[in-house]
Amino acid sequence: MILSDPDEPKFGRFANGKPKKGDPKTLFRQSPKWKEFRALMIRMNNAHCELCGCHYTGKRVTQLQVHHLDPENYYLLNPVSFSVVCSSCHDVIERFVTMIKGKNWVLPNNYREWWILIGHHLSKEAREKMGVLIEEKAKKEKELVYEVR
Ligand SMILES: [Zn+2]
Ligand SMILES: [Zn+2]
């Protein structure tokens, strides 16, 4: 929480949500500083979505979005803390992040596929939570094996 405002809402908006008026994060994304950073990030990976690999040119470049890997430090513009994804992939990532944050979330059966696909697009907090759940699941499965014996 280096540069963030303690009074700001904990979550800005979802990838596909409507911008909230007066929300500091929404305002920040309209600033020249953010727009320059966004353009740099998109240039750095040659205008490809890092998840589905789709390439965008011309006006369609606006389909690409810069996703925060470290939303706790929302205003800290370090390229390693961001990934570039298309709006569709961004929705999938944010949906999964929201699910992980849920109190009663349990690992889905296909969690390995999810982990391979979007593990490196998750925030540290979400990765840690998923890591703990994966460990617990592995432990339980081991116990089951012993019981069978
Ligand atoms: Zn994509
Ligand atoms: Zn995002």
Tens digit of each residue's pLDDT (9 = 90 or more) over 104-114: 888 999 999 99
Domain boundaries, position 141: 24-148
24-53 mean pLDDT: 95
Residue 18: the pLDDT is 61
118-135 mean pLDDT: 92
Domain count, the chain: 1
Question: Is the pLDDT confidence value at 8 over 60?
Answer: no
Higher pLDDT, 3 or 67: 67
Secondary structure of 90-117 in HEC code, one letter for each residue = HHHHHHHHHHHHCCCCCCCCCHHHHHHH
Question: Is the pLDDT confidence value at 12 over 90?
Answer: no
Tell me, in angstroms, the distance from the centre of ligand 1 to residue 15's CA: 13
Choose among 126, 86, 127, 121: nearest CA to 102. Answer: 126
CB 5 within 8 A of CB 78: no
Coil, strand, or helix at residue 60?
helix
Q: Whose atoms come closest to the Cα of 51: which ligand?
A: 1
**DSSP alpha helices (H): ranges in the chain?**
24-29, 32-44, 87-101, 111-118, 124-148
Q: Is residue 67 part of a domain?
A: yes
Tell me, in angstroms, the distance from the centre of ligand 1 to residue 13's CA: 19
Q: Is residue 87 part of a domain?
A: yes
Q: Is residue 19 part of a domain?
A: no
Local confidence band at 80 (pLDDT 50, 70, 90 cut-offs): very high
**Distance (Å) of CA 102 to CA 21, 49, 50, 110, 136:** 26, 27, 26, 18, 17
The pTM for the full model equals 0.78
Choose among 66, 62, 71: nearest CA to 44. Answer: 66
Q: Whose atoms come closest to the Cα of 25: which ligand?
A: 2
Q: Whose atoms come closest to the Cα of 14: which ligand?
A: 2
**Distance (Å) of CA 18 to CA 13, 14, 26, 28, 82:** 7, 8, 10, 15, 21
Q: Is residue 1 part of a domain?
A: no
Q: Is residue 58 part of a domain?
A: yes
Question: Is the pLDDT confidence value at 119 over 60?
Answer: yes
